[in-house]
Chain A
Amino acid sequence: DVKVTQSSRYLVKRTGEKVFLECVQDMDHENMFWYRQDPGLGLRLIYFSYDVKMKEKGDIPEGYSVSREKKERFSLILESASTNQTSMYLCASSQTGETGNTIYFGEGSWLTVV
């Protein structure tokens, strides 16, 4: 069965802390994504990666960075967390090479920055 796992479901961090959100997929997918979900705004793409060590900015990359050292793992990093980064973060993955590929999502990580 398809599985995208986000290791931390709920986190509370202090302003200025460095935060790591981890995501692992077991489907050997080339593409991985980090989205942010806020009420009334839907999902907005932060970063995506189409291969190991490859990354591209999405629509709202400011304040975030990513790391993809292994194919199955994609990490989102908040270098210095701020209260406006309080949100739900969703990791996703998909296969490349086919048209209209399904994107599979993890269950999300709720981050509160205080």
Chain B
Amino acid sequence: AQSVTQLGSHVSVSEGALVLLRCNYSSSVPPYLFWYVQYPNQGLQLLLKYTTGATLVKGINGFEAEFKKSETSFHLTKPSAHMSDAAEYFCAVSLLRGYNKLIFGAGTRLAVHP
């Protein structure tokens, strides 16, 4: 069965520092992987996704993630944090292709301080 583990429920970085949010998955078949962001009192917005092809995926707002099959990981990075990046981030794996049911991790709350 598919599952997603996000390491660290809270991450705090300084403005301008590297952002690294960790995600590991388990899946019996090649996965489709997603990162979503949720700003306070809002729904989820897609940051980026991996389906097939290039393993380094670029998303919105300067974020990127690399699919590493050997490590079963899909970590999210951004070279330089901005105050506006403070939000909750969710990693997800697709369960069924056609219906696109997603299994979500528990989420990581990112704080950015001056």
Contacts and interface: CB of A to CB of B under 8 A. Distances in A.
Contacts, number: 67
Q: How large is the interface on B (under 10, 10 to 19, 20 to 34, 35 or more residues)?
A: 20 to 34
Contacts of A48: 99, 101
Nearest to A40: B106
Residue with the greatest number of chain B CB neighbours at <10 A, chosen from A4, A58, A101, A108: A101
A103 B9 CA distance: 23
Contacts of B17: none
A24 interface: no
Contacts of B43: 4, 90, 105-108
B42 interface: yes
Contacts of B99: 31, 48, 50, 96
Interface string A77-114: 00000000000001010101101111111111000000
Interface of A: 4, 31, 33, 35, 40-45, 48, 50, 58, 90, 92, 94, 96-97, 99-108
